[in-house]
């Protein structure tokens, strides 16, 4: 065997170690179902050499419960504003070093000024804002009001679903009644409980995961949920017979933000990913995929698709706030609604 000088062995060890380090670089990402297109994730991996290990959740409650139960190893997740507030209070998040997110400069300052759950964005970087609405199969349901009243229709019994999401569904009922989605008033919550109970009797189920594919298969004709979860499932011919709208009464509005979890082991990868997502060309591609408006001013100029709704539509909606201990009022009512199924 040919002898290798000692310096050569040392160099080989350095090269191998460096190579292994690069190959093992990864990002553990806990994301909403169908929220970032596969090709964007693949482009990030190709450009950076960082592998994205993806797991998905269907609601903030599911995400939070898993993390609180000891679900470890995630670096980045995307909670909605009320849960960002909860996670800040409970010490679950790392502070954001904005010097490592230069693309933050592209975010709409007018919108940033409205953020109350994390003033100054010390712990979060906005991803997208929007609202759940209703998608209707117009071939099967040609006539309808753009209102939550649709869930009272007897002729659609057994053909509708609503989200399995306490704050969303309760918020819908509260806005339908003219109340705040953040009310703590027991009387108003009892009225909302009655409304949701009436809707529950007409829908097939509360569903936060399969309503998009089921709508695409024609199983359901009216589904409440996020537009991206439905239209990404539809072939072009069926999309022509699907209409999404935010009800005239409004509803809860969300701002989902990227956060780095306390104790994250892949901090550098986390920052590179967050900054990548706010790169205008990348953000525009995500917005086109989701068919929702972008918060990134430069990305708006690059978008190619028409959005399913505008920020004007969102003006009749309301941000969900962290309810603190008062969330127990909602938990109790939601439990009663669910066991009544």
In a domain, 258, yes or no: yes
pLDDT, tens digit (0-9, with 9 covering 90-100), for 260-278:
999 999 999 999 999 999 9
In a domain, 310, yes or no: no
- Tell me: do 299 and 322 sit in the same domain: no
In a domain, 309, yes or no: no
- Tell me: do 212 and 258 sit in the same domain: no
- Tell me: do 185 and 125 sit in the same domain: no
Q: How far is CA 195 from CA 144, 191, 198, 306, in A?
A: 19, 6, 5, 34
Residue 89 has pLDDT above 90, yes or no: yes
Q: What tokens does 201 get?
A: 């009797």
In a domain, 283, yes or no: yes
Please count the other Cβ atoms lying within 10 Å of the Cβ belonging to residue 54.
13
Q: What tokens does 107 get?
A: 């975010």
- Tell me: do 151 and 171 sit in the same domain: yes
- Tell me: do 237 and 281 sit in the same domain: no
Evaluate whether 222 touches 149 at the Cβ level (below 8 Å): no
The Cα angle at residue 175 between residues 109 and 136, in degrees rounded to 5: 90
In a domain, 153, yes or no: yes
Dihedral of CA 77/318/283/107: which sign? negative
In a domain, 313, yes or no: no
Output the pLDDT for position 1: 40
This model's pTM is above 0.85 = no
Task: Say what percent of the chain tops pLDDT 90.
Answer: 76
Distance between CA atoms of residues 281 and 286, nearest Å: 9
In a domain, 92, yes or no: yes
Q: Find how far residue 32's CA is from the centre of its chain.
A: 5
Output the pLDDT for position 236: 81
DSSP bridge partners of 110: none
Residue 319 has pLDDT above 80, yes or no: yes
User: Which CATH number is 42's domain given?
Assistant: 3.40.190.10
- Tell me: do 263 and 293 sit in the same domain: yes
- Tell me: do 206 and 96 sit in the same domain: no
Task: Residue 184: give the domain boundaries.
Answer: 133-244+318-339
Distance between CA atoms of residues 72 and 66, nearest Å: 9
- Tell me: do 157 and 100 sit in the same domain: no
Distance between CA atoms of residues 155 and 44, nearest Å: 47
In a domain, 1, yes or no: no
Please count the other Cβ atoms lying within 10 Å of the Cβ belonging to residue 141.
18
Number of domains in the chain: 2
26-35, 145-154, 320-329: range with highest mean pLDDT: 145-154
DSSP bridge partners of 132: none
What kind and span of H or E run contains 110?
helix 109-112
Distance between CA atoms of residues 130 and 226, nearest Å: 9
- Tell me: do 223 and 324 sit in the same domain: yes
| Polymer length in residues for the chain | 341
Q: Which band of pLDDT confidence, cut at 50, 70 and 90, is reported for residue 153? A: very high
Nearest Cα to Cα of residue 101 among 124, 69, 134, 135: 124
Please count the other Cβ atoms lying within 10 Å of the Cβ belonging to residue 320.
24
Output the pLDDT for position 104: 98
- Tell me: do 183 and 330 sit in the same domain: yes
Distance between CA atoms of residues 132 and 234, nearest Å: 18
- Tell me: do 228 and 328 sit in the same domain: yes
- Tell me: do 118 and 143 sit in the same domain: no
């Amino acid at each position: 065997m040919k002898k290798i000088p000692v310096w050569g062995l040392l160099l080989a060890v350095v090269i191998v170690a460096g190579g292994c380090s690069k190959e093992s670089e990864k990002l553990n990402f806990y994301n909403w179902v169908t929220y970032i297109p596969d090709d964007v994730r693949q482009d990030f991996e190709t450009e950076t050499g960082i592998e994205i290990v993806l797991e998905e959740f269907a609601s903030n409650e599911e995400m939070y419960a898993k993390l609180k139960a000891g679900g470890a190893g995630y670096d980045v997740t995307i909670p909605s504003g009320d849960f960002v507030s909860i996670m800040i209070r409970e010490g679950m998040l790392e502070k954001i070093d904005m010097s490592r997110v230069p693309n933050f400069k592209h975010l709409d300052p007018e919108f940033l000024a409205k953020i109350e759950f994390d003033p100054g964005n010390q712990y979060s970087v906005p991803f997208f804002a929007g609202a759940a609405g209703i998608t209707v199969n117009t071939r099967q349901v040609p006539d309808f009001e753009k209102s939550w009243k649709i869930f009272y229709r007897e002729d659609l019994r057994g053909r509708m679903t609503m989200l399995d999401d306490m704050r969303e569904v309760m918020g819908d009922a509260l806005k339908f009644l003219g109340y705040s989605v953040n009310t703590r008033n027991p009387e108003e919550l009892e009225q909302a409980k009655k409304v949701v109970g009436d809707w529950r009797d007409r829908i097939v189920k509360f569903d936060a995961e399969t309503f998009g594919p089921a709508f695409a298969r024609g199983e359901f004709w009216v589904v409440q949920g996020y537009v991206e979860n439905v239209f990404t499932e539809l072939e072009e011919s069926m999309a022509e017979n699907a209409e999404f709208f935010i009800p005239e009464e409004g509803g809860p509005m969300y701002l989902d933000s990227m956060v780095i979890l306390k104790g994250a082991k892949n901090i550098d990868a986390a920052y590179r990913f967050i900054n990548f997502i706010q790169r205008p060309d990348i953000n525009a591609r995500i917005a086109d995929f989701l068919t929702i408006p972008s918060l990134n001013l430069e990305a708006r100029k690059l978008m190619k698709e028409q959005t399913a709704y505008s920020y004007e539509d969102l003006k009749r909606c309301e941000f969900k706030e962290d309810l603190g201990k008062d969330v127990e009022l909602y938990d109790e009512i939601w439990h009663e609604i669910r066991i009544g199924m």
